[in-house]
Amino acid sequence: MNLLKNKAVQYTILAFVVALIPLLLDINRSTLTLWNMVIIYAIIAIGFNILLGYAGQISLGHAAFMGLGAYIAANLTGNLELPFLLSLVLSGLIPMVIGLILGLVALRLEGHYLAIATLGFGVAIQQVFKEWTAFTNGFSGVRADNPVIFGLEISEREHYFILGMIILLLLVLFAHYLLKSKTGRALLAMRDSEHAAQAMGVSLFKYKLIAFAASAFYAGIAGGLFMHLIRFTEPNAWGITLSLNLLAMVVIGGLATIGGSIIGAGFIVMVPEFIKDIEFLASIKSFATIFTGFAMIFVIMFFPHGIARIGTQIKIALLNRRNSRVDKGKGGAPNGRSKG
């Protein structure tokens, strides 16, 4: 039974069970596309959460990394005819190198300035997507084929879902062990106080670069998977809207939790779908955006730990209330500390 208490084992079992659902049930193709999108957003959200939730560094330009991953995947499998898995790894590694550069910028900036710099970075890269037509084909967009793994072509959404789930699982486990290690503790220390962390011997240089590199890698992988799922992309997809949605995923789902990132990704993908079914709300254009904006503000104001930890937060609040009532009943001070 101890094995089941291990988080890594729990993640693995859950992933396998969920991956098999589409094979057992008869779910239509468009719904499965959404499920696949949840996986892809979950991957980028986990990476972004390492950056924002754990390391405390904000970025408003991470859509650029995902776009970069998508374009790299399309070019490598299309023009250079590299195998799918190799190109997927490269579509993570190349954005990672650029993420390192952004990490160097972040070393000199904090808070607002970092947000502004990354915002500018995102806009500049999106502009590169628009103008560098040899690489991106401009507004006409690029196409990609179905992924082929060891001679097997993946054309069904069910199979793509399994592929995505395996990659998500690998990345979840990597994040889990990374964050449980010394690195994770160093990132948290850096988030809570850079000066205190430095005083404890945490190298800001090393850990800021790690945080940016990891998040860019995850974003690139998500982009590569997106490219082979949707099989078309153009520059407008990789703008500030996506960066904001990414922020919303992580904030609503829960900062500094892996599960929260996945919940947040589900939220962003599924909310527009639920709204479609409610006639009154569907008649309001872009209601999903308005709702997401309100949800993000609401969560950050009242549940700063996100949906993933709402249960715990309510439990703590109830416990505190009960304790204070008990203390009042005794007519004494809370915890009996005042007399000492």
Partner 1 sequence: MVAFLQNIIAGLETGSLYALAALGLVLIFRTSGVINFAQGEMAMFSSFIALTLFQHNMPYPVAFIGAILFAVALGYIVERVFIRPASKANLVSKMIITLGLIMIFSGLATAIFGTDSYFFRKAITADNLNAGGVIIQPNALFIIAITLLIMGILFYIIKKTMVGIAIRATAQNEKTAKLMGISVSKIYSMSWIIATVLGAIAGVLIAPTTNISTAMMMDVHLKSFIAAVLGGFGSFIGPVFGGFSIGVFDNLVGYYISLKWKTVIVYGLLILILIFKPTGLFGKSYRKKV
User: Where does this chain bind partner 1 (CB under 8 A)?
Assistant: 52, 56, 58, 60, 105, 108-109, 111-113, 115-117, 119-121, 123-124, 127-128, 131, 193, 195-196, 240, 244, 247-248, 251, 284-294, 296-297, 300-301, 304
Minimum CB separation of residue 244 from partner 1 in Å reads 6
Minimum CB separation of residue 132 from partner 1 in Å reads 10
* Nearer Cβ to partner 1 (68/171): 68
Contact 288, 267 (CB under 8 A): no
* Nearer Cβ to partner 1 (5/108): 108
Minimum CB separation of residue 45 from partner 1 in Å reads 15
Minimum CB separation of residue 113 from partner 1 in Å reads 6
* Nearer Cβ to partner 1 (195/339): 195
* Nearer Cβ to partner 1 (119/148): 119
Task: Single out the residue of 188, 242, 164 nearest to residue 51, CA to CA.
Answer: 188
Q: How far apart are the first and last CA of the chain?
A: 45
Cα–Cα distance for residue pair 340/335, rounded to 1 Å:
11
Minimum CB separation of residue 336 from partner 1 in Å reads 29
Query: What tokens were used for 225?
Result: 């998977």
Query: What tokens were used for 89?
Result: 């790894």
232 DSSP β-pair partners? 143
Minimum CB separation of residue 285 from partner 1 in Å reads 5
Contact 208, 19 (CB under 8 A): no
Minimum CB separation of residue 195 from partner 1 in Å reads 4
* Nearer Cβ to partner 1 (105/173): 105
Query: What tokens were used for 168?
Result: 């998500």
* Nearer Cβ to partner 1 (72/247): 247
Cα–Cα distance for residue pair 7/202, rounded to 1 Å:
27
Chain Cα centroid distance, residue 114: 19
Q: Amino acid identity, residue 109?
A: L
* Nearer Cβ to partner 1 (85/119): 119
Long-range pairs for 309-315: beta carbons < 8 A, 24 or more residues apart: 309/254, 309/257, 309/260
Minimum CB separation of residue 298 from partner 1 in Å reads 9
Q: Amino acid identity, residue 186?
A: A
Between vectors from CA 101 to CA 191 and to CA 214, what angle results, nearest 5°? 55
3-class DSSP string for 128-182: HHHHCHHHHCHHHCEECCCCEECCEECCCHHHHHHHHHHHHHHHHHHHHHHHHCH
* Nearer Cβ to partner 1 (76/256): 256
Query: What tokens were used for 75?
Result: 């070019």
